[in-house]
Amino acid sequence: MDEINYKLLTDIIFMNDASFADINIINAKIIARTCKLARFNKNIQLSFDNFKIDKYYKQVKYLSEKKTEKVIENYDIPIDVQLGAMDLDINIKYKAKIYNIIINLLKENNYIIEGVKEKIVIEQKNNIKLFKLKIKIIYDIIREEVIDINNITVDEHDSIEDDIQHFEEKMDIAKIITIFRYNSFFINMLSIDLVNEKVIIDFISSEYFAKNWFKIPIIFPKSLINFL
């Protein structure tokens, strides 16, 4: 009886992409350690690529959120300032972390690079949706309060005036905008068409951006930056 050609059998197994459809990263790692040829399987490689996309995306998301918390809490910036033009304190330490992500990301294949961009764009779109939802909540609360405004005393009126500030809702909106700004710094510094760091920082810190960020293209077109 002829001996089994295990190399040929392994080649046949791992050349069959359909056998490893939707494989998760844990199983992909185990298989890749067991057999080097597994790395050449399309779906196993895709699992590794998607894992890297999630890793880079989570790094950017974490930096944007932590930086926002630090800026708002440590510097005690008034909400009206947070909602308008604001110095984002994009310092050397923060830049180093962002550029480290970008440098490592640019070493990856195009699928991973575009995948990270896509996830950040989705994150930005979700922030815009959340912002619009918060605005609607504030509008609805104000509308309900105004209904009985003719039937209240002066003291009650003053109390309602204070309530209309809606501190918590405004605070949430301020955080959404600031996170959006830090995400914008990353994704636009990643673009090969935009290399002027100062222009990007000045733009996302400006009053114009504060008023129009939710309708400006997420990845800034070159024409917009040239205009600035």
Question: Domain locations in the chain?
Answer: 1-40, 56-227
- Mean pLDDT rounded to a whole number for the chain: 77
pLDDT of residue 171: 83
pLDDT of residue 162: 44
Q: Do the beta carbons of residue 188 and residue 222 sit within 8 Å?
A: no
List all residues 6 or more positions away from 101 whose beta carbon is below 8 Å from its beta carbon. Answer: 56, 59, 60, 63, 186
pLDDT digits (tens, 9 = 90+) for 81-131: 778 888 888 999 999 999 999 999 999 999 999 999 999 999 999 999 999
pLDDT of residue 205: 92
Q: Strands (DSSP E) along the chain, which ranges?
A: none
pLDDT of residue 81: 73
Intervals of the chain under pLDDT 50? 1-13, 149-150, 152-162, 164
Q: What span, in angstroms and rounded, lies between the C-alpha atoms of 20 and 37? A: 13
pLDDT of residue 136: 82
Please list, residue by residue across 134-160, b when 16 or more beta carbons sit within 10 angstroms of its beta carbon and e when fewer do: beeebeeeeeeeeeeeeeeeeeeeeee
pLDDT of residue 227: 61
pLDDT of residue 38: 61
pLDDT of residue 180: 96
pLDDT of residue 87: 84
